[in-house]
Amino acid sequence: MGLEIFCDTITKSLDRGPDIVDITGDLEKILKESGIALGTLNATVIGSTGSITTIEYEEGVIEDLKDAIKRLAPEDAYYRHELRWHDGNGHSHVQAALMGPSIVVGVRNARLNLGTWQQVVVINHDNKPRQRKIDVTIIGLRP
């Protein structure tokens, strides 16, 4: 019984940011495929204008999070990023950096160790729709 590593990728279509999509079910499916019962799952969104976190995936709190993200780094603020690229997404990079690109979730008894009202979500912060790839690595022991 040695340490096992299992890797997979999730791809999600997200609207203009901030758009938030629940990926908990996708992660549970990958975990089941891995056969790992004890360890950790790491999920990382690829790209500098995406992030991952946990939250209760309920309409009210999702809208509250979107509002909070917009207050932290508003789209209409001045961003030096625009001097270089002129693409209007300086706020997207700052929002994503504040939220973070990855998350680690414990795996216990072949299940994600999340609370009853806790889901894993991916967020697109960019000023246009994006296909977001989420790299998933599970490290642990099989029964």
The pTM of this model reads 0.94
Among 78, 83, 12, smallest CA distance to 50 is for 12
Is domain 4-141 in CATH 2.60.120.460, yes or no?
A: yes
pLDDT in single tens digits along all 143 residues of the chain: 689 999 999 999 999 999 999 999 999 999 999 999 999 999 999 999 999 999 999 999 999 999 999 999 999 999 998 888 888 899 999 999 999 999 999 999 999 999 999 999 999 999 999 999 999 999 999 98
Q: Which two tokens stand for residue 131?
A: 């296909």
Strands (E), 15-143: 19-22, 38-45, 50-55, 102-108, 111-112, 119-124, 130-141
Domain ranges of the chain: 4-141
